[in-house]
Every structure is written in C-alpha cells, then in structure tokens.
C-alpha cells in the first residue's frame, strides 16, 4: 500500500468518524493544519490521462498510451514559517471565536431577561386594565339605592261630601 493510499484511507476513516462524532469544522481544520506537513506532496510525479470515454484519471505511473497523458505540476508544500504563521493565526481566530461566543451567550441571556421583564410588565398592565374595566361599570356609592314606589290607587276611598238634609 502506497503512502498516498494510506493517507486516503485515513481521510476516509476520519470522515466516517467525524460524521459519527459530529465534530465541528474547527476541529477538522486543526487536524488538517497539523497533518499538512506530514503529507509528501512532491514525492512522486502525477500523471493525468483521459480515456476514450472522456473519463479523467490521475496516477503516479504513466499510462500505456502516453500521448494522452500529461504531467501535473503540484505546488511545493508551504514553508515551516508559513505553517507556524497559519497555526498562530488559527489560534488567534479560535480565541476571538471563544470571546465572541461568550459575548453572544451573555447578550442572549440579557435579551432573555429583558423579554421576561417585558412579559411580566405587560401581564401586570393587562391585569390592571382588566381591573379598571371591571370597576368602570360599578356605581356603588356605599349605600343601596332606594327606589320610591310609584303612586297607585289609594287604599281607602276619599271621603265624599254629601248634601245636608
């Protein structure tokens, strides 16, 4: 098994593992940064060939029909200084992300507290308005209202004046 095949197998295993463990993209980028110097990118010459059906394939050995094969130039790996600078930049970004995450959590807590206070205040105002509405129709002055009876027929007929005899 060649070195590139073993790297591909490791990457495939890592992909399956990341899918199962649900590791964030940050962790993947950290692992990627640390594995970049380990991959021998310029160790072998890469050949690109296209077959009759138009399928493109890459290999480390030249194909039998070498007139359709072309050599692929691969950029050299980054220098140690660039790798260290990238790692430092990544660490600063991680620290900044941590600070931003803490600030976001604090802001979310403050917003949640403000919303809770607004709901309580709204509920108190609603109860107060309901109490005022209930008391608006109340005409009770402390004494019951006494209604006089309507005049009706007298109980005894009025006296009649008869002529003198």
Tens digit of pLDDT per residue, the chain (165 long)?
566 666 666 666 666 655 555 556 677 777 766 666 655 544 577 888 888 888 888 888 877 766 677 777 777 888 999 999 999 999 999 999 999 999 999 999 999 999 999 999 999 999 999 888 877 766 666 677 788 888 887 778 778 888 887
The radius of gyration of the chain's CA atoms, rounded to the nearest angstrom, is 46
Selection from 16, 15, 45 nearest residue 32 by Cα: 15
What pLDDT does 111 receive?
Answer: 97
Give every CB contact of residue 4 below 8 A, 6+ residues apart in sequence.
Answer: 44, 60
Structure tokens at 24: 């964030």
Looking at the chain, the number of H-run helices and the number of E-run strands are 3, 3
φ, ψ of residue 133 in degrees (nearest 5): -65, -40
Distance CA 156, CA 121 (A): 68
What pLDDT does 42 receive?
Answer: 45
What pLDDT does 105 receive?
Answer: 96
Q: How far is CA 89 from the centre of its chain?
A: 26
Contact 71, 46 (CB under 8 A): yes
Angle subtended at Cα 49 by Cα 47 and Cα 54, rounded to the nearest 5 degrees = 155
Q: Is 46 exposed, middle or buried (0-12, 13-18, 19+ CB in 10 A)?
A: middle
């Amino acid at each position: 098994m060649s070195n590139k095949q073993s790297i591909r197998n490791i990457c495939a295993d890592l992909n399956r593992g990341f899918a199962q463990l649900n590791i964030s993209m940050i962790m993947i980028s950290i692992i990627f940064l640390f594995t970049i110097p380990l991959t021998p990118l310029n160790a072998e010459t890469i050949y690109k060939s296209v077959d009759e059906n138009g399928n493109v394939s890459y290999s480390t050995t030249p194909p039998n029909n070498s007139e359709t094969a072309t050599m692929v130039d691969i950029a050299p790996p980054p220098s140690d200084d660039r790798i260290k600078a990238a790692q430092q930049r990544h660490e600063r970004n991680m620290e900044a992300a941590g600070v931003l995450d803490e600030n976001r959590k604090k802001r979310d807590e403050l917003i949640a507290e403000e919303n809770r206070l607004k709901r309580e205040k709204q509920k108190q105002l609603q109860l107060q308005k309901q109490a005022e509405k209930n008391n608006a129709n109340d005409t009770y002055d402390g004494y019951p209202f006494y209604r006089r009876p309507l005049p009706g027929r007298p109980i005894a007929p009025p006296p009649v004046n008869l002529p003198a005899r």
